């Protein structure tokens, strides 16, 4: 299985979108399943926005995801930016919509997969925001608004978040060790995969004296970052490994994968 998150695609990320569409081609050729646990899009203001009259930047992404789903099992999860993705979108792209936290049976045993924002428990302001916007009644109210008003609210929310993040200590915006340990205890998984923090790594840790691995997925940015960055995790019988995009720098793709 392959997993990638935090691609953060929008109308303003043409290079990142191109890189991700190339990645999807490789995933369709080599992955038996592709999981995309959140922040696939930089903001998502409702499936209707995408399905009725998709903007020019989005249509190729929807079509590429649908094409990918015809070759490999495709799963999408909600992030803190695209938590309004719904079943209509999942159906449009041939994907299954994941619950916030899901336990996967893999070649290396049960793996816990999520976006990761739920583990940032020291960030009280964010957890308050998350509780509010996950409220189904508030979501129904928001989705009943015009697309223009939804877009204006989302733009305001993004500005407010960026402003608040400037003065937030970095450790608060990372997962909290107690939340991670509790997730391992609650599920019995020995490996966890999440994104959100944009701090890619494979962490070896001990929970109640037992060895555990926490794998953090890379974020993607080929529009503003120099050098560009992107990546994913491969989990197969050889174990978990982080791979970088483009694959020239990565040995995790089979030789035939057009490096
Ligand atoms: O996203 P990022 O990287 O800047 O920071 C995140 C956390 N912030 C968020 C907020 C998102 O960026 C907002 C995305 C747009 C949402 C569109 C729809 C909104 C309405 C939906 C109603 C159902 O996730 C940030 C964390 C950081 O990650 C690190 O983990 O610290 O959390 C905060 O900054 C907390 C702030 O309090 C969030 C302030 C946003 C205010 C939004 C109010 C919207 C109310 C709408 C009512 C209809
Ligand atoms: Mn995120």
Helices (H), the chain: 14-30, 47-51, 59-69, 87-92, 124-133, 136-143, 147-166, 177-187
pLDDT of residue 247: 87
pLDDT at 245 (0 to 100): 96
The pLDDT tens digits for 203-241 are 999 999 999 999 999 999 999 999 999 999 999 999 999
User: Which pLDDT belongs to residue 251?
Assistant: 58
Three-state DSSP at 140 gives helix
Residue 108 banded pLDDT, cuts 50, 70, 90:
very high
Position 115 scores a pLDDT of: 98
Residue nearest to atom 39 of ligand 1 (CA): 161
Predicted pLDDT of residue 258: 32
Residue to mutate, 157, 168, 198, 220, ligand 1, most ligand atoms under 8 Å from C-beta: 157
- Kind of pairing between the strands at 191-194 and 101-106: unpaired
The secondary element (H helix, E strand) that includes residue 78 is none
Is 184 in contact with 178 (CB distance < 8 Å)? no
pLDDT above 70 (res 242): yes
Question: Which of the residue ranges 163-167, 181-185, 197-201, 203-207 would you say has the lowest mean pLDDT?
Answer: 163-167
- Judge if the beta carbon of residue 220 lies within 6 A of ligand 1: no
- Mean pLDDT, the chain, integer: 95
Query: What is the model's pLDDT at position 131?
Result: 98
In short, whether 173's Cβ falls inside 6 Å of ligand 1 is yes
Out of 8, 42, 129, mutate this one to test ligand 1's pocket (max ligand atoms within 8 Å of CB): namely: 129
Beta-carbon contacts of 17 under 8 Å, excluding residues fewer than 6 positions away, are: 9, 57, 60, 61
Mean pLDDT along residues 81-86: 98
Whether residue 255 is predicted with pLDDT greater than 60 in this model: the reply is no
Ligand 1 pocket check: which of 126, 155, 156, 171 to mutate, most ligand atoms within 8 Å of Cβ?
A: 126
For residue 144, give the DSSP letter. Answer: T
Determine if ligand 1 sits within 6 Å of the CB of residue 125: yes
CA 183 – ligand 2 centroid, Å: 18
- Domains of the chain, first to last: 2-258 (3.60.21.10)
- At 4-48, the pLDDT tens digits run 999 999 999 999 999 999 999 999 999 999 999 999 999 999 999
Q: Is the model's pLDDT at 256 over the cut of 50? A: no
**What pLDDT is attached to residue 250?**
57
Ligand 1 atom with the shortest distance to the CA of 145:
48
Say if ligand 1 is within 6 A of residue 80 CB.
Answer: yes
Is the CB of 8 within 6 Å of ligand 1? no
Cα–ligand 2 centroid distance for 165 (angstroms): 13
Q: Give the number of whichever ligand sits closest to the CA of residue 114.
A: 2
- Could you tell me if the CB of 175 is within 6 A of ligand 1? no
Distance 51 CA to ligand 1 centre (A): 24
For residue 159, the ligand closest to its alpha carbon is 1
């Amino acid at each position: 299985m392959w997993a990638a998150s935090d691609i953060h695609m929008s109308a303003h990320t043409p290079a990142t979108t191109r890189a991700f569409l190339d990645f999807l081609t490789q995933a369709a050729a080599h992955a038996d399943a592709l999981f995309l646990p959140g922040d696939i899009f930089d903001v998502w203001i409702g499936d209707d926005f995408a399905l009725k009259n998709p903007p020019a930047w989005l249509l190729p992404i929807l079509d590429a995801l649908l094409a990918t789903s015809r070759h490999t099992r495709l799963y999408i999860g909600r992030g803190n930016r695209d938590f309004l993705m719904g079943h209509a979108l999942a159906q449009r792209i041939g994907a299954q919509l994941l619950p916030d936290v899901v336990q996967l049976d893999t070649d290396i045993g049960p793996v816990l997969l999520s976006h990761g924002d739920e583990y940032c428990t020291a960030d009280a302001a964010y957890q308050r925001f998350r509780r509010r916007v996950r409220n189904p009644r508030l979501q129904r109210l928001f989705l009943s608004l015009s697309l223009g008003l939804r877009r204006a609210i989302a733009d305001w929310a993004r500005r407010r978040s960026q402003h608040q993040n400037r003065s937030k200590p970095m450790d608060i915006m990372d997962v909290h060790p107690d939340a991670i340990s509790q997730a391992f205890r609650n599920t019995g998984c020995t490996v966890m995969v999440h994104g959100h923090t944009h701090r890619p790594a494979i962490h070896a840790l001990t929970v109640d004296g037992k060895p555990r691995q926490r794998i953090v997925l890379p974020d993607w940015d080929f529009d503003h970052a120099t050098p560009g960055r992107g990546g994913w995790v491969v989990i197969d019988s050889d174990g978990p490994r982080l791979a970088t995009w483009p694959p020239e720098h990565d040995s995790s793709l089979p030789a035939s994968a057009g490096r």
